[in-house]
Amino acid sequence: MLINRIAAAILGGYLFASTAAALLSALNGPGSDAMLGGALLGLALYAPAIIWAFATSSTRRAWGGLLGASLAFAVMTLLAGASS
């Protein structure tokens, strides 16, 4: 089970951070400042996502929370991109 939590922390945390970064970049509009801001947010969210994956009571909750939030960020990113 520890390997599963490590995978959730690394892979799920990366997916969570990258979709959050993509959302921020989409909301800020085109340009290098938006991309830089998104990348910095991704770095800032990766560590708490890893901590959360190990702090939850179950591995299923770790995967579900990270994948669910990532899916929500991805949908919001698509909607933000479609509206601009």
**pLDDT value at position 74?**
95
**pLDDT value at position 83?**
61
Q: pLDDT tens for the chain, 84 residues: list them.
A: 889 999 999 999 999 999 998 888 888 777 777 778 778 888 899 999 999 999 999 999 999 999 999 999 999 999 987 665
> What range defines the domain where residue 74 resides?
2-83
Secondary structure element (H or E) that encloses residue 79, with its range: helix 59-83
State how many domains the chain has.
1
Determine the Cα–Cα distance for residues 31 and 67; give it in Å rounded to an integer.
28
| DSSP state for residue 30 in the 8-state scheme | S
**pLDDT value at position 67?**
95
